[in-house]
Structure 1
Amino acid sequence: MARTIRFHRHGGPEVLTIEDVDIPSPGPGEVSIRTRALGLNRAEALFRAGTYIEQAQFPSGIGLEVAGMIESLGAGVEGLSPGDAVSLVPPRSMVSSPVHGELVTVPAELAVKHPPTLSWEAAAASWMQYLTAYGALIDIARLTQGEHVVITAASSSVGLAAIQISNRIGAIPIAVTRTTRKAEALHEAGAAHVVASAEENLEARLKQIAGEHGIRVVLDAVGGPAFLPLTAAMARGGVLIEYGGLSPEATPFPLFNVLSKSLTLRGYLVHEIAGAPARLAAAKAFILEGLGDGSLKPIIARTFPFEQIVEAHRYLESNEQFGKVVVTL
């Protein structure tokens, strides 16, 4: 038995409970991990609320990211040993593989031995944000040195990861945030430029920054009316990669911007990288190297003890955070 985060109906953070649950021993190709920290993501809030890309089956577990120590191995697992410090590549499904609990059993292929210099909190905050940003910017968009890249929801964990990855390869990150309240922190986090979309003319400001070459790559988590000014500021042949839908407003299709500039608007989920062994191996190498040399450094907004999981989810949805929300055990 182990304490596990579960919920029995959709709703706000208050539906989350901590329950004692039987955790199966690892089967062939699986490992059990005694967790030390849990990373929280918007995906979990959406899953809990019933608005995610998959629907919970009650009673439901939850969670995509943890770090901890391997407790036991199933048959056939190689390269890992009991006592290894590991963090997890996000599982494809929270229905079949929820990981927010004291003890979790998962496919061994998801466990990654992270650099020993990484804290439990940082390790639990790494894989969702860096895999998402790497997959979009490097694997798909092929962002290169000297290019401008627009990053919306820039103070989110993925936004900050995208800023760091852009700087690591010598690209020029333009952070888009609603107001100037987080502008100084975004500059300190590595943004070359910060645009406050609720206070400035987004299209005009982006065109001013990027000049005649325009912007080839946009990484967007918001959708909504900003599609029009974002695509208007893009270069011919540009790609807008959409990985979220934070805006409560309808998202217009920018038909004439797309036609006149031959733009690509592309939906993206991190699972397409995590589920492709060769692409995942390249991503792991890039991220582990960056975590090791310090060019990739998770920014933790706030930590909560395991017993305060409801408060942690409330903070996650407050939009007050700058970086990742982490729960510790």
Structure 2
Amino acid sequence: MEAVGLNRAEALFRARAYYYQPDLPASRIGAEAAGVVEEVGPGVEGFAAGDPVSVLLIATGAMSVHGVYADRVNVPAHTLIRRHPSVDAVTGAATWLSYLTAYGALVEIGGLRPGDTALITAASSSVGIAAIQVANLVGAVPVAVTRTGAKKEQLLKAGAAHVVALDEDDLIARVGELTGGRGARVVFDAVGGPGVTRLAELVARDGTLIVYGWLDGRPTPLPANWPLAVYGFALPAVLDHEDRKRRATAFIEAGIRSGDLSPLVDRVFPLEAVADAHRHMEGNGQVGKIVLTVGRGEEE
């Protein structure tokens, strides 16, 4: 192991608020990482010792059994993604979960096209930043939503066409102004909870409201009587379909090569400071991905 990407799911998992529970007393934690193959087991094809790889665990229960907060891990071969030698470990640990989620939801499910508006909540998260970049690469207009104006300049620098700060702006009025009253073609929401009914008012006719997270924690009511599609997104919607998986992988790899897709790393901690890294994540001050490095010493 060389680097581990932190995700909000791990804080929820640790707090027993995730959609599956730790398999105690021997549960592990962590779903995304990068490193180098040391050895392959019998019957494994396509990978060999010395290969640089990323690791992505998404199956129910997988994190509990194969969690990647470690200096060495033994994981199923199907969780590996080949990593080009030019892609460093920090980037390799910060890419796949965020960009597969953003691309899969916005493009494969939402059908985002050039000129469409994509409204992105929790936009300073790693998935939010990925969604901004994916929307730009498609030719769409990413509108970032954030709780306070403190992150506005960082989000504009990250590529957002517009930023709506909930402590400064009226969300419905501002989105109406930005879209000429049409609403957003895709609303991409990480929060869930009762606020979903408000977001539904911002979706363009025949548009899509995609909910992929539950940061709110309260029940999420299903919007009624709006001419829109509502979709609960998780990565199997991409990875369990070979055509979608092939398109997503090609899109992300091409974007990384061209530099149009580039994970924004907020802060790097050594593995030994994982508790501090989780405190930083739960403080909600980050913009982009938090990464742990293995065997590199001091915090960056």
Smaller-chain TM-score bracket: over 0.9
Map residues 120-135 of structure 1 onto 2, 5 A cutoff.
120-135=89-104
Other-structure match for 1:274: 239
Q: Larger radius of gyration, structure 1 or 2?
A: 1
- Determine the structure 2 residue equivalent to 1:37: 3
Aligned length: 291
Q: Percent identity?
A: 47
Which range moved further: 283-292 or 272-281? Answer: 272-281
Q: Distance in 2 between matches of 1:63 and 1:182?
A: 27
Q: Secondary structure at the match of 2:38?
A: strand
Q: Are 2:27 and 2:65, in contact at CA under 8 Å, matched by a contact in 1?
A: no
TM alignment of 1:161-310, pairs within 5 A? 161-248=130-217, 251-255=220-224, 259=225, 261-310=226-275
User: What TM-score comes out, normalization by structure 1 length?
Assistant: 0.85
Deviations along 1:99-147, one digit per CA (max 9) or x if unpaired, are: 2211112222221222333221111011110111111011111111110
Structure 1 counterpart of 2:298: none
Cα distance in 2, alignment partners of residues 80 and 48 from structure 1: 32
> For 1:319, what is the secondary structure of its paired residue?
coil
For the aligned residue pairs, the C-alpha RMSD in angstroms reads: 1.5
Aligned CA distance change for structure 1 residues 105 and 275 (closer, same or farther; 3 Å): farther
**Distance change >3 Å, CA 252–CA 77, structure 1 → 2:** closer
Q: CA deviation at 1:55?
A: 0.6
Which structure 2 segments of 5+ residues have no match? Answer: 295-300
Please say if residues 23 and 65 of structure 2, whose CA atoms lie closer than 8 Å, have aligned partners that are also in contact: no
1:251–1:79 distance in 2 versus 1, CA, 3 Å: closer
Shift of 1:297: 0.3
Checking the alignment, whether the CA contact within 8 Å between 1:239 and 1:266 is kept in structure 2 is: yes
**Stretch of structure 1 that moved more, 112-121 or 285-294:** 112-121
- Pick the structure with more strand per residue: 1
SS for the counterpart of 2:3 is strand
Note the alpha carbon deviations across 1:59-105, whole angstroms, 9 max, x for none. Answer: 21011001000101122322222111111233312123322211112
Alignment correspondent of 1:86: 53
Q: 1:53 aligns with which of 12, 19, 32?
A: 19
- Cα deviations across residues 165-194 of structure 1 (Å, max 9, x unaligned)? 001111100000011110001000000010
CA distance in 2, matches of 1:253, 1:199: 27
Other structure's SS at 2:204 match? strand
1:32 equivalent in structure 2: none
